[in-house]
C-alpha cells in the first residue's frame, strides 16, 4: 500500500502537464492589476491636463474682452466645462473673478465681480467689494486681474460607482483625487473688464 502511494506521489511530482496553467493562474492577476493601474494613472494624468486647460482657456477668452455680460461669462464657463468630456465620473467647478488692486498707500485687494459654474448651474460667487488675495508679485497698485480657478475631484474607474448604487470596498475608502488649477491674467484690451449685469 505504501509503495502504491509512493509511486502515485512520484508520478504526480514528475507530471509537468499542468505547470503552464498554474503559472498562468499565479501571474494573470498580477498582470491584470498592472494593466488597470497603468490605465488609471494615464487617465488621471490626462484629466489633470484637461483641468489645467480649462483654467487657461477660460482665462484667455475672458481677458480678450473689453466689456462682458453675465450671459457671456456663463457661456465661456460652459465651454470650459465641455473640455472635461468624456470624463463624467464627477463634475468640475469653474470660478471666474475680476480683482482690483486699489491705488492707495496700502493697496486693498477686492472683488469687482465673480461668477461660478457648479453642477452645470452658474451663479454669483464672491460679492462685489469682498476682500480677496493675490500673489505678492501680482499686487501692483491700480491694476486689475482675472483669476480663474478650475477644480475637479477625480474618481478613478476602479473605485467609481453609479450614484444609485451603494458605495462599497475601495470606493468607500477612496473619495477621489482633488485636481485644481488657478490662473491669473491681466485684461488685454482694456485696463479692466466691466460686467454690466454681474
Would the CA dihedral through 124, 125, 127, 133 be positive or negative?
Answer: negative
**CA atoms of 89 and 101, how far apart (whole Å):** 38
**CA atoms of 103 and 191, how far apart (whole Å):** 13
Which pLDDT value is given to residue 162?
A: 53
Query: What Cα–Cα distance (Å) separates residue 153 from each residue in 3, 43, 51, 92?
Result: 67, 13, 10, 7
Which pLDDT value is given to residue 154?
A: 86
Residues of the chain under the 50 pLDDT cut: 167-173
**Phi and psi at residue 187, in whole multiples of 5°?**
-55, 140
**CA atoms of 57 and 47, how far apart (whole Å):** 15
Query: What Cα–Cα distance (Å) separates residue 69 from each residue in 66, 88, 168?
Result: 11, 29, 45
Which pLDDT value is given to residue 75?
A: 94
Q: Residues 134-186: pLDDT tens digits?
A: 999 999 999 999 999 999 988 877 665 555 555 444 444 456 788 999 999 99
- Domain limits of the chain? 19-185
Helix, strand and coil in the chain, % to nearest 5: 40, 25, 35
Owner of C-alpha cell 491669473:
184
DSSP H helices, the chain, are 2-14, 19-63, 70-83, 169-173
Which pLDDT value is given to residue 63?
A: 94
Amino acid at each position: 500500500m505504501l509503495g502504491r502511494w509512493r509511486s502515485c506521489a512520484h508520478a504526480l511530482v514528475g507530471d509537468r502537464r499542468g505547470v503552464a496553467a498554474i503559472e498562468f493562474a499565479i501571474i494573470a492577476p498580477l498582470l491584470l492589476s498592472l494593466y488597470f493601474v497603468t490605465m488609471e494613472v494615464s487617465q488621471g494624468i490626462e484629466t489633470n491636463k484637461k483641468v489645467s486647460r480649462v483654467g487657461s482657456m477660460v482665462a484667455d477668452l475672458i481677458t480678450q474682452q473689453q466689456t462682458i455680460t453675465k450671459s457671456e461669462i456663463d457661456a465661456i464657463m460652459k465651454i470650459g466645462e465641455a473640455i472635461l468630456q468624456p470624463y463624467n465620473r464627477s463634475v468640475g467647478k469653474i470660478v471666474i473673478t475680476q480683482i482690483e488692486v486699489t491705488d492707495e498707500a496700502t493697496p486693498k485687494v477686492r472683488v469687482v465681480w465673480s461668477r461660478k459654474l457648479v453642477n452645470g448651474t452658474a451663479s454669483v460667487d464672491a460679492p462685489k467689494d469682498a476682500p480677496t488675495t493675490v500673489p505678492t508679485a501680482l499686487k501692483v497698485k491700480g491694476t486689475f486681474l482675472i483669476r480663474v480657478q478650475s477644480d475637479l475631484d477625480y474618481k478613478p474607474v476602479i473605485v467609481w460607482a453609479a450614484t444609485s448604487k451603494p458605495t462599497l470596498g475601495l470606493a468607500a475608502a477612496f473619495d477621489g483625487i482633488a485636481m485644481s488649477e488657478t490662473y491669473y491674467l491681466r485684461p488685454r484690451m482694456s485696463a479692466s473688464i466691466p460686467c454690466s449685469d454681474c
